[in-house]
Amino acid sequence: MPITSKQSQLAFQNTQRALMKLSAVQDGETVHSFRTTTLRLQTLLEELIPEQDRKPKKLLKMLEEIRQRAGKVRDLDVQLDALRSLKVPQEPRRKTQLMHGLIELRMKHENKLRKILNKKKKRSVQDRLKRASKNLKLEGGRDPLTVARTMLARIVHPSGPITEALLHRYRIAIKRARYAAEFAPKSAEAGQFLAQMKTLQDAVGNWHDWLTLTKTAGKKIGDADHSPLVAALLRVTGGKFRHAVAALSASPAVQAGTKAALKPVAISTTPSRKPRSKSATLVASAQPAA
């Protein structure tokens, strides 16, 4: 069943409110809300109602520009949360230094986000939101659940172990599939699908948060051979990776579009003579987290 006018208008109203809140304050909650709200609107316009006479391309481009700025702030928020939760006795001074570095970097990106949210930009986005909402045509709209399942089926997974690159693609597809399915009328089928997407999004997103922090720490501190803190982050990230792959493998929604079962990357216990990529080194170095 295609979406209703009430659902579509609510997406525009939520985006309007999220923009106003973000213009006033750039804390973690408002930044995250703006990103998810605008992604829902983008999913609506690009996936659920794609056949429009007047596509709001300029609006989506402007929202994407702001969302990218907000995304840099959000990435630092999740890195800080992950680092605060890491309980390791090694290198407390380095952990504190890394924490302060992330906080300073967040302040810089927050200032850049604030600058892009000037009165002219905000007014232009608001006007375009109103026009796009008014001109929206629901005829030819697609069934949200069908679209959501199609998004997952688009992921091409070659035979062999799942890689970080493939997990990244699933992370994006799962997020968009969830947002598409949220436009579906309430039903047992829709509720079950959304529950699966929420579980997957949490698992894969958690892995990505720790991976981002681990890479940041590696750049600022050094590799695992020279830093117990980075080694600890590698172990946690490896555990999060295996948990995310297991969640994908157990998901009926994902397996419905998968010909071959997903398998995690095998962890080698012997050093390789051939140089490996940074991604492969990360996974191969990580042992199960405690």
C-beta separation of 31 from 77 below 8 A: yes
C-beta separation of 203 from 251 below 8 A: no
The token pair that represents 237 in the structure block: 């990230």
User: Between the CA of residue 51 and those of 35, 129, 136, 143, 218, what are the distances in Å?
Assistant: 24, 18, 10, 14, 46
Which is nearest to 207 in space by CA: 150, 267, 264, 256? 264
- At the topology level, CATH places domain 1-141 in Four Helix Bundle (Hemerythrin (Met), subunit A) (1.20.120)
**Greatest CA span in the chain, whole angstroms?**
62
Ranges of CATH 1.20.120 domains, the chain: 1-141
In tens digits, the chain (290 residues) has pLDDT values of 678 888 899 999 999 999 999 999 999 999 999 999 999 999 999 999 876 656 788 999 999 999 999 999 999 999 999 999 998 887 889 999 999 999 999 999 999 999 999 989 999 999 999 999 998 888 778 899 999 999 999 887 767 788 999 999 999 999 999 999 999 989 999 999 999 999 999 999 999 999 999 999 999 887 767 788 999 999 999 999 999 999 998 888 887 755 434 444 433 323 333 334 444 344 433 433 33
User: Between the CA of residue 258 and those of 120, 155, 174, 242, what are the distances in Å?
Assistant: 47, 9, 14, 18
3-state DSSP call for residue 104?
helix
Cα–Cα distance, 134 to 176 (Å, whole number) = 24
Helix (H) or strand (E) segment spanning residue 128: helix 119-135
C-beta separation of 59 from 125 below 8 A: yes
pTM of the model: 0.83
